[in-house]
Amino acid sequence: MQKSYLALGCFWKPEETFRQLTGVIETEVGYAGGASSATNYEEVCTGNTGHTETVKITYDEKIISYEKLLEVFFKTHDPTQKDMQYPDMGTQYRSEIFYENEQQKNTAENYKNLFNKKLNGKIETNISKIKNYCKAEEYHQKYIMKRNQ
């Protein structure tokens, strides 16, 4: 099993999208990229922690590739918006790919370059080493799935 950490605006809808992909074993929403290893929604919403809302994806690389996850990532949000995904605004809604190793980093950079060519160099997506990921509060987990039951 592999893990991927992707930030693409409010984490509720992306979590639902990734959760439904064949080969995805588990999804979890949380906060990543900030200065502290522990935070909560209220702190992240201030914009002062450096965290962004992030989907943690555990997947079987024999069934779905990291490349496919990145393709879905770039196609399911607007990576040309800086520090927002309309109508949500703030650094906690930025577009960011967090990598665990050099292979993920290189693949992410290649995919960003590919989509950047298609979008005339307007991609605002950051690529960073994963740091200070922490799970979001339980009421955020599988939010859309719970609301549709």
Would you say 49 and 35 are in contact if contact means Cβ atoms under 8 Å apart?
yes
C-alpha span between 14 and 4 (Å, rounded):
13
Residue 45 annotated to the active site: no
C-alpha span between 120 and 42 (Å, rounded):
36
What Å distances lie between residue 129 and 5, 18, 63, CA to CA? 10, 21, 25
Could you say which of 1, 4, 7, 10 is catalytic?
Answer: 10
CA dihedral 74, 19, 105, 111 (to 10 degrees): -30
- Annotated catalytic residues are 10
